[in-house]
Amino acid sequence: MKKIIKNGIIVTATDTFNADLLIDNGIICQIGTNLSEQGADVIDAKGCYLFPGGVDPHTHLEMPFGGTVTKDDFETGTIAAAFGGTTTIIDFCLTNKGEPLKDAIKTWHAKSNGRAVVDYGFHLMIGEVNEAVLNELPSVIEKEGITSFKVFMAYKNVLQADDETLFKTLIAAKDLGALVMVHAENGDVIDYLVKKALEGGKTEPIYHALTRPQVIEGEATARAATFTGLANSQLYVVHVTCADAAKAIADARNRGIEVWGETCPQYLVLDQTYLERPNFEGAKYVWSPPLREKWNQDALWSALKTGTLQTIGSDQCSFDFNGQKDLGKGDFSKIPNGGPMIEDRLSILFSEGVKKGRISLNQFVDITSTRAAKLFGLYPKKGTITVGVDADIVIFDPTVERTISAETHHMAVDYNAFEGMKVTGEPISVLSRGEFVVQDKKFVGTVGAGQYLKRAKYGKNYETVEDKTLSM
């Protein structure tokens, strides 16, 4: 069935213009003024922006972590994503040392297959590099279309990899055409500081932040960037929280090293004082790297504006306050790390960024959608509005005012980290490949309609994947 969206203002990473948009068979097939209706369903988007569906490059759905499993799974997580205007997510597939990579990937397919309501891909965690891993990586890229590898420089004795592993991953990725992602904090130093704090009876949530100072995020970021230059490879730093890390990225980029940076809504609007909230409420804001002193927010906004940071991921990793976060009562190091962010990523960036004049409307689209699609091999199928690509469209009313709250959110988790925050602008309807997932703020999607995305190699357009499929 054809659909025509009329009277909207189309916004891409480069242009803003009034046009109608004809969708057929899930694809945008015509853009123009006064398009004839041709028997299509007509959707009136008067007064609304039409954005390409958001691409969230950083989610953890149904992930075992901190002795429990994240509350939102691929069903609830992608429904919440859709309400927030995100139509593509890339989730982190964890691996275990000694386990074949293909088994880990199979586990992640089992969690997501038949559950997601929007399209999704996977990044693959690399915890060790040995002959078995190196032998498997080509098929991870060619068969699974997983073209980004994640190395954790923190979470000692759990997820952390050593420098040798990171360096070898960078070399392999360069040869194979993958982008290496890092969680950049110095896990060894943190481990020591945590032990010292607990020995001194410092057990409250705030010590989570105080034992992970921002200088060691800056240090790890600079170290990863240095290795990237040495390997002549490419790096994407996830969840940049502070001025020190942003500066490390800017310095590396100035030296000609290919380093990209992501921040998250939480670091742009919340700060370290949230962890000091009484009655253990600070635990709601425990994630890594931690929230920082407020002055860092200006540095992050400025880094987004000037292009030192290019994307915004949610780092969705939700745990209930009651029953999950309380695993860390009496010992902050046992509070499961993570927060619920998948739903409010676009709203916060629009309201705090565009509305407050910190970034332009086109930058907003680039940061929330286009750039991630390009970096992670999904462009132009995802990440833009043009003829011939997936009709992933957000109909966004820039004037609606609302208050973010767990009472009204769609995540499965029992609190919202942005509770009480007033935002302007909201997705009204959201389409994934031409089908409504959210229509007039109601869920009308289909559980399992989300498709797994095989992504193109780093630096290549999505067509490469299709071409390959056709020639096989």
Q: Which does 338 bind (CB under 5 to 8 A by kind): Zn ion, ligand URP, none?
A: ligand URP
> Which strand (E) or helix (H) includes residue 93?
strand 86-93
Contact present, 58 and 344 (Cβ < 8 Å): no
Measured from the CB atom, is 297 or 432 closer to ligand URP? 297
For Zn ion, give the closer residue by CB, 24 or 397: 24
Compute the least distance from the CB of residue 259 to Zn ion, in Å.
16
Alpha-carbon gap, residue 27 to 374, rounded angstroms: 19
Least distance in angstroms from the C-beta of 363 to ligand URP: 24
287's contact among ligand URP, Zn ion, none, with CB below 5 to 8 A by partner kind, is ligand URP
Residue of 317, 313, 293, 315 whose CA lies nearest to 304:
313
Total chain residues near ligand URP (CB under 6 A): 8
Least separation in angstroms between residue 337's CB and ligand URP is: 3
Query: Could you tell me the smallest distance in angstroms from the CB atom of residue 30 to Zn ion?
Result: 13
Task: Give min distance, CB of 394 to ligand URP, in A.
Answer: 25
Decide which of ligand URP, Zn ion, none touches 318; Cβ closer than 5 to 8 Å per partner kind: none
**52/187 with CB nearer ligand URP:** 187
Q: Which residues lie below 8 Å from residue 49, measured CB to CB, with a gap of 6+?
A: 8, 9, 10, 11, 361, 394, 395, 396, 398
Q: Which is nearer to ligand URP, 57 or 445 (CB)?
A: 57
Q: Residue 315, interface with Zn ion (CB under 5 A)?
A: yes
Q: Which partner, Zn ion, ligand URP, none, binds residue 332 by CB below 5 to 8 Å per kind?
A: none
Q: Would you count residue 24 as binding Zn ion (CB under 5 A)?
A: yes
* Torsion sign across C-alpha atoms 461, 464, 470, 472: negative
Restricted to residues 306-325, the positions that interact with ligand URP (CB under 6 A) are 315, 317
55, 316 Cβ separation under 8 angstroms: no
| Minimum separation from the CB atom of position 154 to ligand URP (A) | 7
Report the chain's terminal Cα–Cα distance, integer Å: 31
Reduced to 3 states (helix: H, G, I; strand: E, B; else coil), residue 163 is helix
Using CB under 6 A, pick the residue from 337, 368, 416, 429 that binds ligand URP.
Answer: 337
- Cα 314 to Cα 372: distance, rounded to the nearest angstrom: 12
Identify what 109 binds: Zn ion, ligand URP, none; CB under 5 to 8 Å per kind: none
- Residue (60 or 455) nearer to ligand URP, CB: 60
Nearest approach, Cβ of residue 384 and ligand URP (Å): 27
Q: What six digits make up the tokens of 44?
A: 């009136």
Size of the site for Zn ion (CB under 5 A): 4
60 part of the interface to ligand URP, by CB under 6 A: yes
Query: In this chain, which residue has its C-beta nearest to Zn ion?
Result: 183
Q: Which region, judged by CB under 5 A, interacts with Zn ion, from 63-71, 72-80, 223-231, 315-323? A: 315-323
Instruction: Report d(CA 20, CA 12) in Å as an integer.
Output: 14
Which residue, among 186, 178, 87, has the nearest Cα to 134 in the 3D structure?
178
Answer for which of 287, 364, 418, 458 binds ligand URP (CB under 6 A) is 287
Shortest CB 39 distance to Zn ion, Å: 10
Answer whether 343's CB lies under 8 Å from 409's CB: yes
Query: Shortest approach of ligand URP to residue 11 CB, angstroms?
Result: 29
**SS3 assignment, position 80:** helix
- Cα(167)–Cα(160) distance, rounded to whole angstroms? 14
Binding-site partner at residue 24 among Zn ion, ligand URP, none, CB < 5 to 8 Å by type: Zn ion
Question: Quick check: 183 binds Zn ion (CB under 5 A)?
Answer: yes
401 C-beta neighbours (distance < 10 Å), count: 10
Residue 316 or 351 with smaller CB distance to Zn ion = 316
In Å, how far from its chain's centre is CA 155? 20
Cα 334 from Cα 329, distance rounded (Å) = 8
Give me 245's structure tokens: 């890390």
Considering only 6, 123, 183, 433, the residue that binds ligand URP (CB under 6 A) is 183
Nearest to 49 by CA among 27, 18, 80, 26: 18
Sheet holding 435-439, edge to edge: 16-18, 9-11, 49-52, 393-403, 422-432, 435-439, 442-443
For ligand URP, the binding residues (CB under 6 A) are 60, 183, 287-288, 315, 317, 337-338
For Zn ion, the binding residues (CB under 5 A) are 2, 24, 183, 315
